[in-house]
Amino acid sequence: MKAVGIIVEYNPFHNGHAFHLEASRKVSNADIVIAVMSGNFLQRGEPALVSKWYRTKMALLNGVDLVFELPYGFAVQKAETFANGAVSILDAVGCDYLCFGSESGDIDSFYRTIHYLNDEHENYENNIKQYMNKGVSYPKALALSYQQLPNSENFLDLSKPNNILGFHYIKAIIGQNSSIKPVTVARKNANYHDENFTSETIASATSIRKAIFSDEKKIKISQYVPEPTKKLLDEYMNHYGMYHNWENYWDYLQFRLIQASNEELQEIYEVEEGLENRLKAAAIQSTSFQEFMQKVKTKRYTWTRLQRLCVHILTNAQKIEMTKFTEKASYLRLLGMTTLGRDYLNQMKKHFRLPLVSKLSSFKEKEITLDITAARIYAMGLGGIQRQEMLKQEFIEPPIYIKK
């Protein structure tokens, strides 16, 4: 079977994702779609709207055949590390193609830009250092440094979020000497960070989440998500009584920051340059996560970088652990499959280049402990019986199977 891989978060799965999924099948002529999906905490340092199990169901009911979890150590990371982990999983399970959405829509522009930056490597790195020394955030320094290079306007626009991810996907494929063939489709209508609805059927996940959490109950998302997504969102709310956002975890984060010593915080991944002092001071003065973030945000530290740091504080993800997650994943955590996905597994798993984890209690690798911790911390956002149910779920939940 020919397989196309996709790298997703589905927070939640919407019509734009459905378009990408169908386009991925068509452009690759693949028999099966394999998704690598972030777990309960996401690349921008946010808790997912609903759990990874519900998002796995969304994926399977909307056309994905196999879902593997992107380990926490890659999922809550900058774009380069995120891409390395995801590509290594798709490579390990035998994907022939990787299809990603981009603002460019032209795969050749990605290769031309990679070659161009290789040629301009020294100038590019020097520009980055100069901007960083001026107190500019790392992502902004990258963008400005790129713009300073001669003729950069003739290459890929690396100020666009999906172009950036695609650029790192292809770099990962090249760096890992993978045989995966990358293909891209142009993003349709809504931009990645759009906060408002600008189309009748396509909206960004950001605008959908904003509508879900809005006090204006008249805002409806039904026209922007497939029916299975809407049913699962309603089911989650009926069962758990809430959707997840950072405010559900503020009390825990505030406690961690006040209780931990400076020395303990300095061991947390991405805590550097005395940032622990600023975090502790802001935690004492703040009454909400939003207020806390506004106090700690600076020109040097982006909102996303700080959110990721906050997740690492909650999960106690230490530098010594996280530095292991740079190039390739060490296991395949299976979250769900369709009938076709199960057939692919039965046919191909003996050729997988990483150990397959379908039952957590039987897997002893230390790297997976961060995933377990993250799942338990995510459950703490709930209350009562629902919290206890989700705390156990990580160990007892088998891979989801959708017969179709």
The answer to whether 45 is annotated as binding is: no
Measure CA of the first residue to CA of the last residue in the chain; give whole Å.
17
How far, in Å, are 5, 103, 295, 379 from residue 154 at the CA level?
29, 15, 39, 47
Is there a binding annotation on residue 163? no
351 is in an annotated binding site: no
User: Which pairs from 202-209 meet CB under 8 Å and 24+ separation?
Assistant: 202/14, 202/15, 202/16, 202/19, 203/14, 203/15, 203/16, 204/14, 204/16, 205/9, 205/10, 205/11, 205/12, 205/14, 208/12, 208/14, 209/11, 209/12, 209/49, 209/245
Is 13 a known ligand-binding residue? yes
101 annotated ligand binder: yes
296 assigned binding-site residue:
no
For CA atoms 145, 147, 152, 156, the dihedral sign is: positive
Q: Which of 52, 8, 22 is nearest to 205 (CA)?
A: 8
34 annotated ligand-binding residue = no
DSSP 336-377: EEEHHHHHHHHHHGGG-SS-EES-GGG---GGGHHHHHHHHH
The verdict on whether residue 292 carries a ligand-binding annotation is: no
Does 97 appear as a known binding residue? Answer: no
Whether residue 312 is annotated as binding a ligand: the answer is no
Distance CA 373, CA 165 (A): 27
- Evaluated on CA atoms 328, 332, 336, 342, the torsion sign reads positive
193 among the known binding-site residues? no
The reply, when asked if residue 139 is annotated as ligand binding, is no
Q: Which of 244, 247, 198, 202 has the alpha carbon at shortest distance from 225?
A: 202
- The answer to whether the annotation marks 226 as part of a ligand binding site is no
Distance CA 210, CA 205 (A): 8
- Is 12 annotated to bind a ligand? Reply is yes
Nearest of 78, 85, 96, 9 to residue 49 by alpha carbon: 9
Name the binding residues.
7-20, 101, 162, 187
Name the binding residues for ATP.
7-20, 101, 162, 187
